[in-house]
Structure formats: C-alpha cells, structure tokens
Amino acid sequence: MFLVLTHDRRRMLLFNVTTNPTAEWTAEQVVAASPWADPPKNLFRDRDGAYGAWFQKRVTGLGMKEVLIAAQSPWQNPFGRLIGSLRRECLDHTIVLGKRYLRRVLRDYFAYDHRWQTQQSLEMDSPEGRVTHLADRGQVIEIASVGRLHHHCERVAA
C-alpha cells in the first residue's frame, strides 16, 4: 500500500495498492499526488527498498526534498498511527478479496476517517472539519459507514 498524506490536516491525498512495488511505480504515485504548480517542499518517507534511484530522481525533479525517517523510530513516522488505526479499525475485520475490493474498502475508510475521526493535533476536529448541529435541528440518527464497521450520528430535520 502506498499512502500520501498532507502534513497540516493529515488528510489522505492519494493511496494505491500493488503486489509488487517498484521505484518506477512509487514515482508514478508521487507524480499523481502532486498535480500542483507549487508542490510540497518536503517528502517524509521510510527506508523501504521500493524507493530506488528512479523514485529519488523523480522527487528531485518535482523540487521536493526527501526527509528519511530514522530507522526503528516509529515516533518519527507520520504514517505509523494511521496504519495502526487502519489495521485495527478496518483491515483486521475485513476479508480482502483482491486489489479492487481493497481499494474500495480503503476509499470508504478514508472518507469516514476524514469526516468523522477526531484528532488531538487538530483540536479534536476531523481532517475535513465537522459541523456542530444544535439540538433544535431534529432527531439524532445513526449512519453506518465502511461496510457497517463504523457508525456516526447526525441530526436530521424532522
């Protein structure tokens, strides 16, 4: 699995899955996640072997500086908590039937995570921000998400 997160709001920009990651494939993913005229200055990454010379050349060409996470230093890994949550809250309860199905499950999970999961670093807000509804708006209903693995509540007008 390949993940690209924004640092400021911890939003997922891009994710993709493959059985055989190569430097060429990972370079394509970075290009797909960087369609801006002004790309990010830094790219934090781990020391996986899939980031070969091809990848490094592409990142340099995009004007980004690679920042390597220190070996065996999970506190430096911005993806560690996300991957742990993804495993505990979703993948440990799902039988993956192929890449296409896995992409759908991940898309649903990230949509739920961005809209409803609060984070301390965002002052208990979600990456997309949540609207607070007043009690006079209506009845509270429960809505299932991510194949009924998660639920959230919303007020709806009567």
CATH of the domain at 72: 3.30.420.10
Give the DSSP H/E element, type plus range, for residue 101: helix 99-116
CA 71 and chain centroid, separation: 22
For residue 104, the tally of other CB atoms under 10 A from its CB is: 13
Structurally, the chain folds into a number of domains equal to 1
66 is a domain residue:
yes
CB-side neighbour CA atoms (13 Å) of 48: 15
Is the pLDDT at 125 greater than 70, yes or no? no
Answer yes or no: are the C-beta atoms of 86 and 109 closer than 8 Å: yes
Place of tokens 């065996």: 72
| 115: three-class secondary structure by DSSP | helix
- Binned at pLDDT 50, 70 and 90, residue 25 comes out as very high
59 vs 125 pLDDT, higher one: 59
Q: Is residue 151, in this structure, part of any structural domain at all?
A: no
Domain assignment present for residue 150? The answer is no
3-state secondary structure 22-85: CHHHHHHHHHHHCCCCCCCCEEEECCCCCCCHHHHHHHHHCCCEEEECCCCCHHHCCCHHHHHH
Full domain range(s) for residue 41: 2-130
Residue 41: inside a domain, yes or no?
A: yes
Q: Is residue 144 a part of any domain in this protein?
A: no
Instruction: Tell me the pLDDT band of 92, cut-offs 50, 70 and 90.
Output: very high
Q: Is residue 45 part of a domain?
A: yes
pTM, 2 dp: 0.68
State how far the Cα of 95 lies from the Cα of 123, in Å rounded to an integer.
Answer: 34
Is residue 101 assigned to a domain?
yes
Residue 24: per-residue pLDDT: 92
Does residue 158 sit within a domain?
A: no
pLDDT exceeds cutoff 70 at 26 = yes
